[in-house]
């Protein structure tokens, strides 16, 4: 009887696993099938042709995505790590708990709403769309991710380690900086990479902030394209060649996100510190 139950259980697990992985395989399959033939050096390194013409590439979107990620990371990573340490320090006090709830709420805000906020705060004030406003929207999405991954990693570090450091006549700030942070580094880094993967696929908050642009642009005060945004506009367009290119773009985006996730796993494995 017990063996029979075990078997049924195993069978169910396998079935449900297959059911849950299946959609993933379909997505990969269709994107690979449609996207692989589109990607080549010319596609990656040239700018779009005017609407309706065939050919051209997505260099503007690749550069745009990296610039947007750069803007968002530049502020949210240092600020997020700092706030994460603050929350870790104040976790036992009311103020820390309250802040943590706010961070949770911030993380729960739909990205389209964040886009509207960035639109009202920045686009409206400046009077035009810009890479900066898009980067700001992504910053608001990345910030709580960095804060939480920092705090949660630090929480896992045993208090014994801190006591050991203090018992050697090491001051508390140096203990945090030179013992706690290095020991949590791999966890924090992997959390940040997963967060960057997340924002690199965001479309909604960019629609009315970064807006999109067919030109190669490095000026953060001007509108800029991005991979997810280009997928959106190309798919909505009436041109077959743009539909084709959207698939190539989707494949590229997925590969970027996938590699970020894989790198973060490797970091955790390679640099993991056993306590």
Partner 1 sequence: MENRILKIEDFSAGYGNLTILKNINLEISKNKITAIMGPSGCGKTTLIRCINRMHELKKDAFHYGKIYLENENIFNMNPVILRRKVGMVFQKPNPFPHMSIYENVLAGYLINGIKLKKAEKDIIVEETLKKVALWDEVKDKLYLRGTYLSGGQQQRLCIARTLALKPEILLLDEPTSSLDPKSTFEIERLLEKLKENLTIIIVTHNISQASRISDYVAFLYLGELVEFGKSEKVFTSPTNKKTEEYLSGKFG
CA distance 134 to 208: 8
Is residue 265 within the footprint of partner 1 (CB under 8 A)? no
- Tell me which residue has tokens 């030109």: 215
CA distance 132 to 153: 30
Is residue 176 within the footprint of partner 1 (CB under 8 A)? no
Is residue 165 within the footprint of partner 1 (CB under 8 A)? yes
Is residue 166 within the footprint of partner 1 (CB under 8 A)? yes
Is residue 174 within the footprint of partner 1 (CB under 8 A)? yes
Minimal distance in Å, beta carbon 77 to partner 1?
20
Query: 115, exposed or middle or buried, with CB in 10 Å at 0-12, 13-18, 19+?
Result: buried
Site for partner 1 in 178-217 (CB under 8 A): 178-179, 182-183
CB atoms within 10 A of CB 62: 21
The two tokens of residue 267 are 């970091």
Is residue 167 within the footprint of partner 1 (CB under 8 A)? yes
Number of residues that bind partner 1 (CB under 8 A): 20
Minimal distance in Å, beta carbon 80 to partner 1?
21
Is residue 161 within the footprint of partner 1 (CB under 8 A)? yes
Minimal distance in Å, beta carbon 184 to partner 1?
10
Whole-number Cα distances in Å, 28 to 110, 202, 254, 258: 26, 19, 9, 11
Minimal distance in Å, beta carbon 190 to partner 1?
16
Q: Angle at CA 162, nearest 5°, toward 101 and 190?
A: 55
CA distance 213 to 112: 20
Q: Which residues bind partner 1 (CB under 8 A)?
A: 160-161, 163-171, 174-175, 178-179, 182-183, 273-275
């Amino acid at each position: 009887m017990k063996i029979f139950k075990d078997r049924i259980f195993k069978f169910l697990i396998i079935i449900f696993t297959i059911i849950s992985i299946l959609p993933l395989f379909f997505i990969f399959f269709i994107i690979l099938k449609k996207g692989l033939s589109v990607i080549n050096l010319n596609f990656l390194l040239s700018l779009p042709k005017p609407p309706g013409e065939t050919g051209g590439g997505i260099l503007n979107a690749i550069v745009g995505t990296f610039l947007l990620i750069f803007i968002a990371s530049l502020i949210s990573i240092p600020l997020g790590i700092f706030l994460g340490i603050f929350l870790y320090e104040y976790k036992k006090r009311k103020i820390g708990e309250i802040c943590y709830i706010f961070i949770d709420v911030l993380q729960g805000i739909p990205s389209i709403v964040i886009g509207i906020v960035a639109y009202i705060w920045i686009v409206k004030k400046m009077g035009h769309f810009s890479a900066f406003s898009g980067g700001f929207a992504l910053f608001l999405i990345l910030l709580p991710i960095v804060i939480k991954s920092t705090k949660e990693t630090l929480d896992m570090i045993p208090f014994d380690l801190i006591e050991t450091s203090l018992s050697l006549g090491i001051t508390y700030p140096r203990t945090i900086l030179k013992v706690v942070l290095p020991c949590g580094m791999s966890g924090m880094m992997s959390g940040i990479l997963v967060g960057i993967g997340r924002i690199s696929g965001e479309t909604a908050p960019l629609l009315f902030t970064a807006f999109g642009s067919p030109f190669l642009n490095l000026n953060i005060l001007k509108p800029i394209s991005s991979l997810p945004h280009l997928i959106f506009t190309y798919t909505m367009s009436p041109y077959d060649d743009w539909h084709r290119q959207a698939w190539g773009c989707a494949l590229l985006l997925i590969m970027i996100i996938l590699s970020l996730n894989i790198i973060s796993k490797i970091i955790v494995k390679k640099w993991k510190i056993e306590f």
